[in-house]
Structure 1
Amino acid sequence: CWACGLDQDFQELPDGIDTRVGNDGTALSGGQKNRISLARSVYSRRSLMVLDDVLAGLDTRTERLVFNRVLGPQGLLRKIGSAVVLATHAIGWLRYADTVLVIENGKLSYRGKPEDAPASFIRSHAGQPEYEAEDESDNTSPADIPMKTSRSSSVSSSITKRQANWQLYKSYFKSFGRFGFINFTFLIIGFSALQCVQQLVLKWWAGAEATSPSELGKWVGILGAITLIFVVDVFLTLWAGFIVYFPKSSLYLHLQQFTALVKVRYSAWGGKETGSITNRFSQDISIIDGQLANALLNVLAGIFDVIAMTSIIIVATPFIAATIPPLVAVFWIIQKIYLRTGKQLRIMDLEAKAPLCTHFLETVTGAATIKAFGWPKSYREKNDKLLEESQIPYYLLESVQNWLSLVLNLVVAGLATVTMAIVVKLRSTSDAGYVALALINIMDIGPILEMLVVAWTQLETSMGAIARMKEFMEDTPEEEQGKINPPSDWMTEGGITISRLEASYSDIAPSTIKDINLQIKPGQKIAICGRTGSGKSSLASAVFGLLHISSGHLKIDDVDVTQVSQELLRSKMIALPQDAYFTTGTVRENLSLRKTDTLQRKK
């Protein structure tokens, strides 16, 4: 770290060497990223190092300091005897190389000593400064550098807020549209009611002892009409759920979350983890599309099926009504135990996949570095370990679900045994048709109850996706939109006035730029200089409205940028950051950021 000039940066960072770098290193400047990457290479102490323009993005003083301490005649790499291949466009350092390779048009045009480099190559780079390694005035050593300790060694974690269930359900049902959920519920009620009516019609038909063709035709017609209505109701239920309401709900929730994402305040974005955000737009949306939709359908169908079956059982065998209260108590205890355990296991199952997703994204992003440092084996081992840990809650959940199935089947078997014992005792007064109907529903109610408890648990757990989505939308601060409407010719001159400006990358972070006073007249060309991490990019970001301004004023053409719409502010200027952004597509589309067909029409 001393060799790469990071000692001063550690003194300035809020938590020293333990400062969180943020998503993709957003808390670090471009030069700091390069020097940390170089320090990581030096720590490896490999006998061969290939460095691709590692001095880019450094100010002149820092570049000289880093070169002297790492690559110079007395640098660390010289001392440990490492062979170094340095790709660079800065010819000022070539004099310290043993051999120079000049590549032009993809071919090797020269190989030899620096002093014998071709004149054409020297002339093409004549405007670049010459560096002197012996000019280093820094005589400090690593032992002389005080290391700033972290203010907090613990990593804060995001804990999902507990929200009232009714609020979550209200938000979810609202996404179905006006009267959408009510219409869907009535379709499911019709589905359950028609099933019971079919059974009752069959019982009445059997009791009528119809033998004439007209009587048989009447009962066949009645049963056929009810069956046809039942089929239509099932079709309408599935069509309304999976074609209309569920996709509409998912799209509505996704757009709400995406709107919060694109409107997020940049100063609050740096601390967000890419894996967590990706999970919200992949896993959570998948849960809403699949698990939540299926769970809601199964819960509603299960509730109304159980009500209908219980009603038939009580009507068919009234003496069974005496067992309903204890059975309700037993089922309530069972679902309470399963719900408490199953819900936690499902949450653990969801959360256990987040580290795996984050590790995968980090691996994809840093594939080149991982290969260069020889880390593929350790990354594969870590991936296998995270994958195995992510499966543990799933297998535990399967075990708990098997326990639920066993217990419910035992309870239903006990109910059937009690019913048969009572029927045998009271066989002289029992209607055989109704007894058969009651036994059929008793045998059917077991799987329905199991499905209902499992679906209810899955629904409660899947609502966690809605809770996380609401938390993201509520806890993601939106950019402040000023109330001043500037004139239409605003920013035609481009004069900038900055007075006592203090700004930071987040509301709680220390100020990155402090007490800046500056006036830029229209038409002037201003160069902002300073060592890496000094605040050059931060000042430019503040002008573009990306930083949190805690005090002072930043005015463009006498209009405070915090008092106008941020969209309007950015539409009036162009900013080119250190890390260029490219969309997928052609060069033409990246040049214009418009669709190709639009450009072709304008030709």
Structure 2
Amino acid sequence: MRHDIKKSSRLANSMKISFNYQKGITLRRETKEYLYLVAKGRELAAYSEKQLTVLDDTLSGFDANTSGRCFHALVGDAGILRTGGRAVIMVTHNAQWLPYADQIIVLGQDGKICAKGDLEAVKNSSSYVQEMYKENVVDVTQTPSSKLGQRSSTTATIGMLFWYSFRRAAVQLSKIALWLKHWVAMNKEHPNQNVGTWTGIYMLFAFGQVMFIALGTGYFLLFLVARSAKNIHRKLLHTAFGFVFTIYAPAINTDRDSRAPMSFFITEDTGVIVNLFTSDLNLIDLALPISFVITSERLLATVADIILTCIASGYLAISVPFLAAILFILQRVYLKTSRQLRALDLALKAPLFSHFIATAAGLTTVRAFSWTSTVEKQNTKLLDMSQRSHYLLFCLQRWLTLVLDLIIAASATLLVGLAVALRDKIDPSYLGVALVSVMGLGQTLSSLIIFWTNLETSLQAVSRIKDYTISTPVEYEKLHDDNPRRGDAVGDDWPPRGQIVMSDVSAEYGAQKVLNGINLTFAAGSKVAICGRTGSGKSSLLGLFLRMYEPASGSITVDDHNISSISPPTVRKSIVALPQDPVFLTGSVRYNLDPYALHTNNHGKLWDVLTKVGLRGTVEEMGGLDAQLVVDGFSAGQRQLFCLAGVMLRDGRVLLLDEATSSLDIKIEQLVNQLIQEEFTQWTVIAVTHRLKSVVDQASGFDRVVVLDRGRVVESGAPEELLKKGRGGVFWRMVEMEKN
């Protein structure tokens, strides 16, 4: 078994398929298990020692991106099934795989071979292949991706920044050099006189320079940077997670104009988002202000050094244009390469972050299946990749320092040569100032170019975040009065009855349909169970009620209001949901129990619901309602009961239960069903469940069962009526399968 796991791990790495321990952050639990079983079946087929492999339209259920990766990993030019002289027979209706086949056999409608040969032969002899090839073929090697890490590489440039914060520091630097010149001249006439005075004034100028830099830096960091960084972080937070707040913490006010829809996170790489909140925000908070400060000071210092050097020797000014041209070319080469290396450094960190998050989330599974060594190797590989660009950037900086030192050495040699040749025309005091300035110019120029590049890199982080907030899909438009989508005005008591009507509703994720032509009516106050196999569209149905996804066609009305014309936060506030996995926020017990503060002055109501769910004693042990909520103090069942207590405090008429009892034991499940029966008598309850025993049990109170299969309603009716169908009924077969 361990041998099989190791082989499976190797295949998963080659196919870039994530292990189940990664928990597929954007997938539901049963979907993750299903995908894992599918991937496992592909692995066993790939490592079978049989010389013949038959793939019966295996890739048709995948999206284009996944099918492309799987195809190339299995039967592509370097695929696993291409080795060892194996033969592969692949049944497909997708023309995009035809160019990779050694031989193509086309079957007609009568089951007979109507064409045979390579691609060109069958295209010329079969009109069916010609039609299919024109309509369906795509380049699988160029699979489009919407990942943020692959967005357009927008780069930001400095432009007309204001350098005035440090002009006084540059003046002080010039005064230091000029004071040194006067000191040298005076010491030539009166050796070693008033040394203390000259030294004291010299130190005073140096102290003044430091003070001006400190004042400018302090103001810049404490006021300007803190304010701008806070605004950028808030904008990014609302864009990425504003949707989550409306689901799990709807009382939190977020920027409604920038929230990304749930569908966006199905395809977005979590590591990319983490990279924005770590590397990019770190650049904005730390690297950007420091780089700006040092770049400003170094730029002014460079100008001052060049001016002082030219004053000492007017002939040296002739070399300034040539020096500027060389530095311009050097700066262009360095900046261009450095920008790309910095961007590559950030992009290579995203896979490392994704791998780390996935491993931490599924650590138990990793250990249980002895995947530790494989995960460690993968982490080491990703870590090495993330450091490659950093190493190259370090080498590039060393090269820049060397080239600048050589240029400054040449300038110093030229200066000394001019001083020797024109010794009678150059003031020795000015020559000393020029030598001091030119020797420090190399380090100044090196710092200027390096921190200029760091500044541009930091501004690229601002550009990436801005690009993310602009290009990320918006969940809904601002509800201006002149906006045709501004929505219906509903009162605080909406929905008053809880009647839901679905008219010819279809939904899809990308190009894959998950619901197709749903026509259902949920009467006010009814209790309906939604059943079906994994992937049948049950949770997608509930997601439509909360406007987590928008229907591709059809309409959903709740008490005669089309929810597509009502803002998502209003819908999620009015329709109460109890998810499969409870979510808690940092805060007190009271805040997590009553986030809307509906019962601020009614402590008795809060204690009453806690007593009903059996958690009063546990909360009292924590320290009461105002104590910090310790999630680890609750078991899995108690967490679900706590969420149910919060639901009991809400005002509404529609309750959605998404596998709310799947992780509970029988005793707690019975308690939950009992509370739902007693506390939500006037509510419309729609429950997605796999536990059919509780659906059949009359004590659970379900009036109706809806069975979904592949996004369609295949059965609907009272539980006892569906059971009377016997073997011919889908619900009956599901119940019997659960019994067995």
TM-score of the aligned structures, taking structure 1 as reference length: 0.70
Does the 8 Å contact 2:23/2:361 carry over to 1? no
Cα offset, 1:309, TM superposition:
1.2
Cα offset, 1:36, TM superposition:
4.1
SS for the counterpart of 2:266 is: coil
Cα offset, 1:577, TM superposition:
2.5
SS for the counterpart of 1:163 is: coil
Does the 8 Å contact 2:27/2:266 carry over to 1? no
Pick the aligned partner of 2:531 from 529, 532, 546. Answer: 529
Summarize the Cα distance change of 1:269–1:43 in structure 2 as closer, same or farther, 3 Å threshold.
closer
Corresponding residue for 2:353?
A: 357
Corresponding residue for 2:177?
A: 199
Output one character per residue of 1:560-579: Cα deviation in whole Å (capped at 9) or x when no partner: 11212211111112112233
SS for the counterpart of 1:504 is: strand
Pick the aligned partner of 2:450 from 443, 447, 454. Answer: 454
CA distance in 2, matches of 1:598, 1:223: 66
Corresponding residue for 1:33?
A: 32
Cα offset, 1:493, TM superposition:
1.6
Output one character per residue of 1:49-101: Cα deviation in whole Å (capped at 9) or x when no partner: xxxxxxxxxxxxxxxxxxxxxxxxxxxxxxxxxxxxxxxxxxxxxxxxxxxxx
Between stretches 580-589 and 515-524, larger displacement belongs to 580-589
Corresponding residue for 2:209?
A: 230
Summarize the Cα distance change of 1:600–1:502 in structure 2 as closer, same or farther, 3 Å threshold.
same
Cα offset, 1:302, TM superposition:
1.6
Summarize the Cα distance change of 1:540–1:416 in structure 2 as closer, same or farther, 3 Å threshold.
same
CA distance in 2, matches of 1:238, 1:378: 48
* Aligned counterparts, 1:343-382, within 5 A: 343-382=339-378
* Aligned counterparts, 1:404-483, within 5 A: 404-481=400-477, 482-483=485-486
Does the 8 Å contact 2:19/2:36 carry over to 1? no
Output one character per residue of 1:502-538: Cα deviation in whole Å (capped at 9) or x when no partner: 2234xx4433212222222321222223222111111
* Aligned counterparts, 1:106-505, within 5 A: 146-149=57-60, 150=62, 151-152=64-65, 153=68, 156-157=144-145, 158=147, 159-163=150-154, 165-166=156-157, 169=158, 182=162, 185-207=163-185, 226-227=205-206, 229-261=208-240, 262=242, 263-481=259-477, 482-484=485-487, 485-505=489-509
Does the 8 Å contact 1:29/1:532 carry over to 2? no
CA distance in 2, matches of 1:42, 1:163: 42
Summarize the Cα distance change of 1:398–1:31 in structure 2 as closer, same or farther, 3 Å threshold.
closer
Output one character per residue of 1:433-481: Cα deviation in whole Å (capped at 9) or x when no partner: 1111111100011000111111122222333322221221112112115
CA distance in 2, matches of 1:254, 1:292: 14
Give the gaps of 5 or more residues in structure 2: 1-15, 45-52, 69-139, 243-258, 478-484, 598-621, 628-740
Does the 8 Å contact 2:169/2:208 carry over to 1? no
Summarize the Cα distance change of 1:500–1:414 in structure 2 as closer, same or farther, 3 Å threshold.
same
Matching residue's letter, 2:152: K
Of structures 1 and 2, the one with the larger relative CO (CA 8 A, separation 6+) is 1
Corresponding residue for 1:52?
A: none
Corresponding residue for 1:512?
A: 514
Output one character per residue of 1:531-560: Cα deviation in whole Å (capped at 9) or x when no partner: 221111111110111112222211112111
Corresponding residue for 1:82?
A: none
Does the 8 Å contact 2:506/2:516 carry over to 1? yes
CA distance in 1, matches of 2:25, 2:201: 71
Summarize the Cα distance change of 1:366–1:514 in structure 2 as closer, same or farther, 3 Å threshold.
same
Matching residue's letter, 1:248: R
CA distance in 2, matches of 1:356, 1:144: 34
Does the 8 Å contact 1:30/1:578 carry over to 2? no
Summarize the Cα distance change of 1:19–1:568 in structure 2 as closer, same or farther, 3 Å threshold.
same
CA distance in 2, matches of 1:531, 1:397: 53
CA distance in 2, matches of 1:18, 1:376: 17
Between stretches 214-223 and 518-527, larger displacement belongs to 214-223
Give the number of aligned pairs: 473
Output one character per residue of 1:190-239: Cα deviation in whole Å (capped at 9) or x when no partner: 11121112221332354456979x99999788767645543431220221
Instruction: Output the aligned Cα RMSD.
Output: 3.6
Matching residue's letter, 1:380: E
Does the 8 Å contact 1:30/1:532 carry over to 2? no
SS for the counterpart of 2:534 is: coil
Matching residue's letter, 2:455: L
Matching residue's letter, 1:552: G
Matching residue's letter, 1:492: P
Corresponding residue for 2:574?
A: 572
Between stretches 326-335 and 438-447, larger displacement belongs to 326-335
Does the 8 Å contact 1:28/1:533 carry over to 2? no
Summarize the Cα distance change of 1:407–1:480 in structure 2 as closer, same or farther, 3 Å threshold.
same
Matching residue's letter, 1:458: N
Summarize the Cα distance change of 1:511–1:191 in structure 2 as closer, same or farther, 3 Å threshold.
same
Cα offset, 1:307, TM superposition:
1.1
Summarize the Cα distance change of 1:199–1:32 in structure 2 as closer, same or farther, 3 Å threshold.
closer
CA distance in 2, matches of 1:479, 1:380: 38
Summarize the Cα distance change of 1:445–1:228 in structure 2 as closer, same or farther, 3 Å threshold.
closer
Summarize the Cα distance change of 1:586–1:380 in structure 2 as closer, same or farther, 3 Å threshold.
farther
Summarize the Cα distance change of 1:587–1:301 in structure 2 as closer, same or farther, 3 Å threshold.
same
Corresponding residue for 1:80?
A: none
Does the 8 Å contact 2:155/2:463 carry over to 1? no
Does the 8 Å contact 1:267/1:504 carry over to 2? no
Pick the aligned partner of 1:546 from 539, 545, 548. Answer: 548
Matching residue's letter, 2:574: K
CA distance in 2, matches of 1:203, 1:33: 76
Cα offset, 1:27, TM superposition:
6.5
Report percent identity of matched pairs.
30
Cα offset, 1:353, TM superposition:
2.2
SS for the counterpart of 2:267 is: coil
Does the 8 Å contact 1:20/1:27 carry over to 2? no
Does the 8 Å contact 1:497/1:518 carry over to 2? yes
SS for the counterpart of 1:281 is: helix
Corresponding residue for 2:638?
A: none
CA distance in 2, matches of 1:462, 1:245: 16
Cα offset, 1:257, TM superposition:
0.7
Does the 8 Å contact 2:341/2:389 carry over to 1? yes
Does the 8 Å contact 2:217/2:293 carry over to 1? no
Cα offset, 1:310, TM superposition:
1.1
Does the 8 Å contact 1:160/1:468 carry over to 2? no
Cα offset, 1:414, TM superposition:
0.6
